Structure 1
Amino acid sequence: MAMAQSLAPSSSSAARAARPKARRAVPSRVVAGTAAATGESARRLVAAFDPAIPLASAVTPPSGWYTDPEFLQLELDRVFLRGWQAVGHVGQVKNPNDFFTGRLGNVEFVICRDANGELHAFHNVCRHHASLLACGSGQKTCFQCPYHGWTYGLDGILLKATRISGIKNFNKNDFGLIPIKVATWGPFVLARFDDSSQNTVNDVVGDEWLGSASDLLSRSGIDTTSLPHICRREYIIECNWKVFCDNYLDGGYHVPYAHGALASGLQLQSYETSTYERVSIQRCESAPPEQEDIDRLGTKATYAFVYPNFMINRYGPWMDTNLAVPLDATRCKVVFDYFLDESLLDDQNFVDRSLKDSEQVQMEDIALCEGVQRGLESAAYSVGRYAPSVEMAMHHFHCLLHDNLSG
């Protein structure tokens, strides 16, 4: 239960100020896929769920929400490419010249920090003939296209266009990289693909991204930047991205049946769920440790879901995050990032044991999610029901999706 997408970490002031400012031709909004128009089948699937029905009487969204490629196309356009999205953590762009890359739907992007320490994000596409510029993560002083050598500064400006003698009506200041709005909140890097303006105040971003849950998450230690990043693990799961989110949002319903070892460390009767504008928070007290040893779970675990696909888990000395990234209608990639209190970095036995315990939970969840996906694709299932006492966060998630998809 618990970030995750494969992204890579990405210069004197006087020289930078002297450069001409690129006049970038920026699309008003990035549209995923080949057509902005929504198909009739996707519209029917959206309409098949009624968020106005009270939880105790409501039925779940139809199975087509989890199997229809056209429905995923609608989600990419109206959910993932609108508003702030978590794309990585600040450790990936900690130093000048760090960069990392990622993909969301058909959008290829690169996040980088220039030599002056300023954070940038761009579409990772050369303006010449559309080659991807960078891959993975690391450090670069510039981005040079591997295809024809066009070169861009980490501020997006086109520095060199090769072999263009004789070209007419060309102004290189019009061919800088297409910018993406980028910001940070606590240890997280956020991008906004529907807004290319570059003036961002991080405090405002927190309010836009988290709403009224922002202060609560700060008090829970989730906005801290003092926890070193330990490792990243990625999983390709044979299920729709929402199946993974639903599993996270069932209020601990599945824990005693699927996670025996984890359940023994939690007081499941203390489980509580709160919902906010775009966030739901689940909390559970831990069982007293049986021995005088460092307790991985601490006294209380906090599981925060940030719509649409980002999960933050704070427990004991650990914080881990999950990012569920759709690959196609029936597959997703989930990226887990682990952060640990600095005082325990040298306790390798504790680190290894904790990561092993976490891995066991993830393997159990993957088996569950892939089994659910196969059931959703069968002819025997259409809609289900909610358990009103525990699955309120899941219903909240589905209502938010309906609102975006029908708007």
Structure 2
Amino acid sequence: MTLAKPIANPIDALRANVSAPFEQARAMPPEVYKTDAFLQAEIEHIFRKEWFCVGRADALTKPGDYVTCELAEQPVIVLRDREGDLKAFSNVCRHRMSTLLHGRGHTKSIVCPYHAWTYNLDGSLRGAPAMSGNSGFCKSDYALPEIRCEEWLGWVFITLNPEAEPVASRLSELERMIAGYDMTNYTETFFEEHVWDTNWKVLAENFMESYHLPVCHAGTIGGLSKLEEMVCPPGHDAFNYHTILKDDSLRIAMAHPSNTRLASEERRMTYLIAVYPSLMITLTPGYFWYLSLHPQGPSQVRIRFGGGMSNDYAGDAEAEQNLADLKALLDDVNIEDRGCTEKVYRGLCADGAEPGHLSHLERPNFDFAQYLMSRIDPSFEPKL
């Protein structure tokens, strides 16, 4: 009978793993994916302190448009207020603490589904039925707590950390790199939420490397990308990225003829961007799609999945068909990715599972591991 290998302290295991330079690096150890101890460290040191993307600003265009999420176990509402500003609030009633709004939608006010306490779009309490008999009650004491919310290039971010560096400052280098794509010039046409049976980092790492494309995506996009044309440079403090030159047979990934911002190979170059901790963006000159990930325990990940086309294509006679083709393609890609990432999680939970050495095409995975360690232990100095 083979006894299961004792589980090492996951933070110690990661520290040992990331202490090697990239030329000798291995995949992260199983303990960082499957243990509650490491998940709690992530919640405390990463998701409670970093910026989290809830989606695109163009999905919240009218006053009263809202979206909800949970960030580090805290329910949050993000909405467009009556002045047209994006705001985020605690999604918990100040009376008996029910959650308020759910999913995405539009509302003129925020009404508690338990006792109908009603809040304005600025978070102030408008009305509370049958409270006149309590002499200590004062409406002005009951505004919803506000949460930091910022927009950057059309993306909406929130954070629970009042001292977090502003998004625009943190991502200034990325903004410079992709200026020619003009990310504000893309419109979200679909948004879905999913839960997959894998760890959030497995899915994040799957996005960060295109080494798997020819195999995992043989039925969809695998043949459109060549391993020898993938470039995986060292990452940055707040993000990593790699690039692929797409085959021009996928027309909707190419720059539109009216696009004069991009030249030469840029007109067919796709950026695969991982904004730490958990926003994954595929940015092509023609379309974009994204995943915003949040752990739901060690073995599940909640996924915010959206995307759409560059507005350069908006006037094309084929625009509607392009959008339909894009969504059908991405649905098929997601089926393939779900199968691969759920297999990885099952495998890493096996007795005796050991991480292998990384390919040069997995440089972003190495940088991601360095990022995780540096946030969980600020004294850690990332390796080159």
TM-score by length of 1: 0.81
Cα distance between partner residues in 2 of 1:338 and 1:61: 30
Q: Which runs of 5+ in 1 are unaligned?
A: 1-40
Cα distance between partner residues in 2 of 1:63 and 1:113: 42
Query: What amino acid does structure 2 have at the position aligned with 1:349?
Result: Q
Greater shift, 303-312 or 345-354, is seen at: 345-354
1:4-403 superposed matches below 5 A? 44-50=9-15, 51-195=18-162, 204-208=166-170, 210-221=171-182, 223-224=183-184, 226-250=185-209, 252-260=210-218, 261-274=220-233, 275-289=235-249, 295-298=251-254, 299-341=268-310, 342-344=314-316, 347-387=319-359, 389-403=360-374
Query: What amino acid does structure 1 have at the position aligned with 2:252?
Result: R
Superposition deviation, residue 192 in structure 1? 1.3
- 1:201-236 alpha-carbon deviations (Å, 9 max, x no partner): xxx53122x242221133333x32x32221123332
Give identity over the alignment, percent. Answer: 24
Cα distance between partner residues in 1 of 2:7 and 2:115: 41
- 1:299-337 alpha-carbon deviations (Å, 9 max, x no partner): 221111101110111124111111122111101122221
Greater shift, 42-51 or 66-75, is seen at: 42-51
Q: Which runs of 5+ in 2 are unaligned?
A: 1-5, 255-267, 379-384
- 1:46-105 alpha-carbon deviations (Å, 9 max, x no partner): 121233320122333321111112321221121111122111211222111211111223
Cα distance between partner residues in 1 of 2:128 and 2:188: 38
Q: What corresponds to 2:257 in structure 1?
A: none
Cα distance between partner residues in 1 of 2:181 and 2:144: 38
Secondary structure in 2 matching 1:109? strand
Cα distance between partner residues in 2 of 1:43 and 1:173: 51
Secondary structure in 2 matching 1:403? helix
Superposition deviation, residue 42 in structure 1? 10
Greater shift, 162-171 or 123-132, is seen at: 162-171
Using a 3 Å threshold, how does the CA distance of structure 1 residues 93 and 60 change in structure 2: closer, same or farther?
Answer: same
Greater shift, 75-84 or 236-245, is seen at: 75-84
Query: What amino acid does structure 1 have at the position aligned with 2:108?
Result: T
- 1:173-202 alpha-carbon deviations (Å, 9 max, x no partner): 2221011011101111111112299xx9xx
Secondary structure in 2 matching 1:398? helix
Cα distance between partner residues in 1 of 2:286 and 2:118: 44
Q: What corresponds to 1:17 in structure 2?
A: none
Is the CA contact 1:184–1:190 (under 8 Å) kept in the aligned structure 2?
Answer: yes
Aligned Cα root-mean-square deviation (Å) = 2.3
